[in-house]
């Protein structure tokens, strides 16, 4: 079937012609305009009142609340619907008696749907048309359970697709969803959104339908612009305080895509006594749970749970709030992900299904000009990244030790690219790398938003007015100074402290250190447990625990900790091992060496131990030596023969209490390589 054929509207799909004002087939899309007020209900027309089925392809709603997913859920065909957040998926499944496949919610507790249960549901006689609602993580489970026939017998709908394009929390999971989506026939799939973001993937040749009402419903918006990010967070605290003071019985919804910002504003208001801790909730992804401590909450109903409610992008779309509240949206330019488009601000406002008591937008501006790459340039960059990684793998494959660390090396490179906002690849289930079109989509959209809406102080206001809204400038907000705390560091310290206390408590009780069944452990906590279990048979346990904690606490990364573990494993390796014997031969106690001698001797040592490793600078060589033994640098020494040289004092630089040296040295080669990669 040709795209042109699909663009032609299906007249049989119209249930009530009186509700359809016009249908226009334009060169690149179809535009359908509906009567806003349905005379039979005296409410906004719902899509299920006008149509029998949802159109296939990309469907852009002019507003939230038009009932697009409801139309699919009551339509006469089998459907699989992907929702961005689990509470939306769960609540819609409950309301429409559909099968929910996802993690626990308020409505679906302590029950993980098995493959057999999915298959049993599909084979049941009733309901006639199967309706399955999933979160992105569970789509593959459903597809695998039904089998290949799913592509011929089901319609796949991805709801609120824009949030899955933009939000990095979801993007990695959505990559696989799109792979599945493209396997469905064009006529049996759709993506739904109230915010248009173009797709860069050339294989997504979708028909496009715009659904609009015949009349606009303007919003009344107060807007305040400032020029610095720090000032913005102070204004945010002041605006929230003003709402708390002037409307003490009303609830407040704060949309701010910064976990750090939400936490610090909440803390500032609590410290000044304007609100209590138990009157605040921060709704963010579970990955940020530890960063916000007791403020963390998950949405589990259509009511706001607190007087003051902060929402990050994990909750900007896909749910309804059925009570009035004051909306404050904060859009910062200090970080691209904090900048909200006029379309997304409209979506956020649309979360209220009753009536907003007020809507205020606070933002900064003054984006500097920078190089912005085109879609074609980004796709070419992605291809170059894949070629580079494949080239590295080809050369690493020549040496077993290098091949072993290839995945670790690529992960570090990918993280570095991601931190720079230039990662445009993804890893398939097969392990192969391919182009991440979602990352490209997100890059293009964030750059567009900053360039068009935040370069000048009045650009966002003009865009909102052009969309038919009534916008007034607010100038009298009183700032409240907000002390900035690094929630990432708070989170890291919390993880470390929690795990150290669990290990310490287990030791005191004489219990085994085995938390392998605890699925709630973070990556860092799992690493701590594994390292402790590996080293504790050879070291005094409480001493080791103390050293591990001291090298992790109040540090932004694990480099010092990794050096401790490296040194500990070397200390505990058997004295008879080749690694130990050759090292003490080249660096005996009380021997004196220049930096150059250290580099040359380490490289000779690597050769003798058959390690495909080489240190290429004197600075790295000295740093590596200091992880293996305590050294003193002989500066200001009267004896010129040793001035500027390094003396070997002992082989235990971290003062570990070694009980025995019996560990296998098989991993030492990888440890050397990882230290040199720092």
Helix (H, G, I), strand (E, B) or coil at 180: helix
Place of tokens 């705390």: 485
Beta pairing class for 208-213 and 57-61: parallel
User: For 203-221, what is the mean pLDDT?
Assistant: 91
With a cut of 80, say whether residue 612 has pLDDT above it: no
- 139 and 83 inside one domain: yes
**Helix 437-453 and helix 375-396: axis angle, to 10°?**
140
User: For 560-582, what is the mean pLDDT?
Assistant: 86
In a domain, 481, yes or no: no
Helix (H, G, I), strand (E, B) or coil at 546: helix
Helix (H, G, I), strand (E, B) or coil at 453: helix
Cis bond upstream, residue 500 (ω within 30): no
Report pLDDT digits (tens) over 524-553: 888 888 889 888 888 999 999 999 998 888
With a cut of 50, say whether residue 193 has pLDDT above it: yes
How much helix, strand and coil, in percent to the nearest 5, is found in the chain?
A: 45, 15, 40
In a domain, 458, yes or no: no
What pLDDT is recorded for position 665? 58
Beta pairing class for 30-34 and 20-25: antiparallel
* Least confident residue range of 4-8, 580-584, 591-595: 4-8
Query: CA–CA distance from 132 to each of 46, 84, 101 (Å)?
Result: 22, 14, 7
What pLDDT is recorded for position 2? 37
Check residues 88 and 307 and name the one with the higher pLDDT. Answer: 307
CB 474 within 8 A of CB 359: no
Residues in Cβ contact with 110 at an 8 Å cutoff, skipping those fewer than 6 apart: 104
What pLDDT is recorded for position 235? 92
Check residues 599 and 431 and name the one with the higher pLDDT. Answer: 599
CB atoms within 10 A of CB 274: 16
pTM: 0.74
User: For 104-116, what is the mean pLDDT?
Assistant: 84
Question: In the structure encoding, which two tokens stand for residue 678, read together?
Answer: 């720092």
With a cut of 80, say whether residue 239 has pLDDT above it: yes
Which CATH number do you get for residue 171? 3.40.50.300
Beta pairing class for 189-193 and 425-427: unpaired
Q: How far apart are CA 56 and CA 204, in angstroms?
A: 13
Place of tokens 């709030």: 321
What pLDDT is recorded for position 245? 94
Strands of the 308-311 sheet, one edge to the other:
296-297, 280-283, 308-311, 252-256, 326-331, 358-364, 220-226, 470-473
Q: Quote the strand ranges of 26-111, DSSP E.
A: 30-34, 37-38, 43-44, 57-61, 79-83, 99-101
Q: Is the dihedral of CA 232, 238, 241, 245 positive or negative?
A: negative
In a domain, 529, yes or no: yes
CB atoms within 10 A of CB 163: 25
Q: How far apart are CA 499 and CA 529, in angstroms?
A: 8
Question: In the structure encoding, which two tokens stand for residue 313, read together?
Answer: 């992008």
Q: How far apart are CA 250 and CA 253, in angstroms?
A: 10
Highest mean pLDDT among 8-12, 162-166, 335-339, 434-438: 434-438
With a cut of 80, say whether residue 111 has pLDDT above it: no
With a cut of 80, say whether residue 637 has pLDDT above it: no
| Three-state helix/strand/coil letters over 549-567 | HHHHCCCCCCHHHHHHHHH
In a domain, 441, yes or no: yes
User: What proportion of the chain, given as a percentage, has pLDDT over 90?
Assistant: 44
What pLDDT is recorded for position 55? 93
Question: Where is 535: in which H helix or E strand?
Answer: helix 523-535
Mean pLDDT, the chain, rounded, equals 86
With a cut of 50, say whether residue 261 has pLDDT above it: yes
Place of tokens 């410290």: 271
What pLDDT is recorded for position 292? 86
- 150 and 278 inside one domain: no
In a domain, 568, yes or no: yes
Report pLDDT digits (tens) over 123-174: 999 999 999 999 888 999 999 999 999 999 999 999 988 877 776 555 567 7
In a domain, 519, yes or no: yes
- Of 213, 233, 260, the position where a domain reaches its end is 213
What pLDDT is recorded for position 5? 40
- 147 and 118 inside one domain: yes
Report pLDDT digits (tens) over 276-289: 999 999 998 877 88
With a cut of 90, say whether residue 39 has pLDDT above it: yes
In the chain, the largest separation of any two C-alpha atoms, in whole Å, equals 101
With a cut of 50, say whether residue 592 has pLDDT above it: yes
User: For 472-483, what is the mean pLDDT?
Assistant: 88
- 623 and 574 inside one domain: yes
Q: How far apart are CA 635 and CA 651, in angstroms?
A: 21
In a domain, 456, yes or no: no
User: For 580-609, what is the mean pLDDT?
Assistant: 90
Q: How far apart are CA 56 and CA 191, in angstroms?
A: 8
Measured in whole angstroms, the distance separating CA 654 from the mean position of its chain's CA atoms is: 36
In a domain, 479, yes or no: no
What pLDDT is recorded for position 8? 47
What pLDDT is recorded for position 36? 94
- 532 and 548 inside one domain: yes
User: For 91-117, what is the mean pLDDT?
Assistant: 88
What pLDDT is recorded for position 7? 40
Q: How far apart are CA 235 and CA 410, in angstroms?
A: 42
Residue 666: pLDDT band with limits 50, 70, 90: low
Q: Which of 25, 67, 75 has the alpha carbon at shortest distance from 46?
A: 67
With a cut of 50, say whether residue 4 has pLDDT above it: no
Strand partners, 308: 252, 280
With a cut of 60, say whether residue 660 has pLDDT above it: yes
Residues in Cβ contact with 465 at an 8 Å cutoff, skipping those fewer than 6 apart: 471
Q: Which of 216, 202, 249, 269 has the alpha carbon at shortest distance from 480?
A: 269
Check residues 8 and 305 and name the one with the higher pLDDT. Answer: 305
Residues in Cβ contact with 354 at an 8 Å cutoff, skipping those fewer than 6 apart: 321, 322, 323, 324
User: For 628-637, what is the mean pLDDT?
Assistant: 76
For the chain, how big is the Rg over CA atoms in Å? 30
With a cut of 50, say whether residue 607 has pLDDT above it: yes
User: For 549-558, what is the mean pLDDT?
Assistant: 82
Helix (H, G, I), strand (E, B) or coil at 293: helix
Number of domain units in the chain: 4
Q: How far apart are CA 14 and CA 460, in angstroms?
A: 38
Check residues 671 and 658 and name the one with the higher pLDDT. Answer: 658
Residues in Cβ contact with 49 at an 8 Å cutoff, skipping those fewer than 6 apart: 15, 16, 19, 38, 40, 41
- Of 213, 228, 261, the position where a domain reaches its end is 213
- 26 and 136 inside one domain: yes
- 71 and 198 inside one domain: yes
Domain range spanning residue 542?
A: 487-677
User: What proportion of the chain, given as a percentage, has pLDDT over 70?
Assistant: 91
* Least confident residue range of 239-253, 457-471, 499-513: 499-513
- Of 438, 473, 508, the position where a domain reaches its end is 473
- 204 and 94 inside one domain: yes
Question: In the structure encoding, which two tokens stand for residue 590, read together?
Answer: 């009380």
Q: How far apart are CA 235 and CA 222, in angstroms?
A: 14
Residue 1: pLDDT band with limits 50, 70, 90: very low
Question: In the structure encoding, which two tokens stand for residue 174, read together?
Answer: 């959505």
Report pLDDT digits (tens) over 58-76: 999 988 889 999 999 999 9
What pLDDT is recorded for position 670? 54
What pLDDT is recorded for position 279? 96
- 443 and 554 inside one domain: no
- 556 and 576 inside one domain: yes
- 397 and 345 inside one domain: no
- 143 and 256 inside one domain: no
Q: How far apart are CA 299 and CA 304, in angstroms?
A: 8
């Amino acid at each position: 079937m040709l795209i042109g054929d699909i663009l032609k509207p299906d007249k049989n799909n119209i249930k009530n012609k009186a509700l359809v004002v016009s249908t226009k087939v334009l060169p690149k899309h179809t535009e359908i305009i509906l009567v806003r007020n349905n005379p039979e209900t005296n409410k906004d027309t719902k899509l299920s009142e006008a149509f029998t089925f949802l159109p296939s392809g990309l469907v852009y709603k002019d507003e939230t609340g038009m009932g697009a997913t409801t139309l699919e859920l009551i339509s006469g065909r089998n459907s699989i619907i992907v929702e961005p957040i689990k509470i939306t998926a769960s609540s819609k499944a409950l309301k429409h008696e559909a099968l929910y496949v996802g993690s626990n919610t308020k409505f679906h507790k302590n029950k993980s749907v098995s493959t057999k249960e999915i298959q049993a549901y599909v084979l049941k006689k009733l309901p006639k048309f199967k309706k399955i609602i999933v979160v992105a993580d569970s789509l593959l489970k459903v597809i695998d359970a039904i089998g290949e026939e799913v592509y011929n017998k089901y319609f796949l709908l991805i709801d609120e697709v824009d949030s899955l394009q933009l939000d990095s929390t979801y993007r990695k999971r959505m990559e696989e969803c799109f792979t599945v989506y493209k396997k469905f026939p064009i006529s049996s799939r759709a993506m739904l959104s109230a915010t248009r973001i173009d797709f860069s993937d050339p294989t997504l040749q979708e028909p496009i339908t715009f659904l609009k009402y015949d009349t606009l419903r303007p919003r009344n918006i107060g807007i305040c612009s400032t020029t610095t990010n720090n000032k913005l967070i102070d204004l945010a605290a002041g605006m929230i305080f003003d709402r708390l003071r002037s409307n003490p019985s009303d609830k407040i919804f704060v949309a701010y895509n910064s976990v750090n910002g939400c936490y610090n504003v909440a803390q500032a208001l609590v410290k000044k006594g304007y609100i209590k801790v138990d009157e605040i909730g921060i709704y963010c992804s579970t990955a940020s749970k530890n960063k916000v401590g007791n403020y963390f909450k998950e949405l589990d109903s259509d009511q706001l749970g607190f007087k003051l409610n902060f929402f990050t992008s994990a909750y900007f779309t896909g749910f309804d709030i059925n009570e009035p509240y004051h909306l404050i949206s904060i859009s910062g330019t200090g970080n691209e992900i904090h900048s909200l488009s006029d379309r997304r601000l409209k979506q956020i406002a649309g979360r209220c299904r009753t009536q907003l008591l007020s809507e205020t937008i606070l933002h900064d501006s003054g984006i500097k000009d920078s190089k912005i790459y085109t879609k074609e340039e980004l796709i070419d960059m992605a291809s170059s990244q894949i070629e580079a990684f494949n080239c590295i793998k080809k050369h690493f494959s020549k040496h077993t030790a290098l091949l072993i660390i290839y995945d670790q090396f690529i992960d570090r490179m990918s993280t570095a690219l991601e931190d720079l906002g230039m990662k445009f690849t993804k890893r398939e289930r097969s392990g192969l790398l391919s182009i991440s079109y979602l990352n490209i989509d997100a890059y293009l959209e964030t750059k567009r938003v900053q360039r068009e809406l935040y370069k000048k102080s009045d650009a966002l206001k003009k865009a909102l007015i052009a969309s038919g809204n009534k916008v007034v400038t607010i100038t009298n907000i009183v700032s409240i100074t907000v002390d900035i705390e690094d929630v990432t560091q708070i989170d890291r310290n919390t993880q470390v402290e929690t795990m150290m206390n669990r290990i310490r408590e287990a030791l005191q009780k004489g219990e085994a250190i085995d938390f392998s069944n605890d699925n709630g452990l973070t990556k860092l906590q799992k690493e701590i447990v594994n390292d402790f279990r590996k080293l504790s048979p050879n070291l005094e346990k409480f001493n080791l625990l103390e050293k591990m904690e001291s090298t992790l606490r109040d540090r932004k990364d694990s480099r010092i900790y990794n050096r401790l573990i490296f040194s500990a494993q070397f200390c505990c390796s058997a004295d008879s091992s080749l690694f130990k014997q050759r090292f003490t031969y080249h660096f005996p106690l009380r021997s004196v060496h220049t930096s150059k001698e250290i580099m040359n001797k380490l490289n000779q040592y690597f050769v003798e131990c058959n390690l495909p490793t080489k240190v290429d600078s004197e600075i790295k060589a000295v740093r590596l030596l200091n992880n293996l033994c305590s050294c003193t640098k002989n500066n200001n020494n009267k004896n010129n023969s040793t001035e500027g040289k390094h003396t070997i004092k002992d082989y235990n630089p971290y003062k570990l209490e070694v009980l025995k040296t019996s560990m296998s040295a098989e991993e030492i080669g990888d440890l050397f390589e990882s230290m040199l990669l720092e």
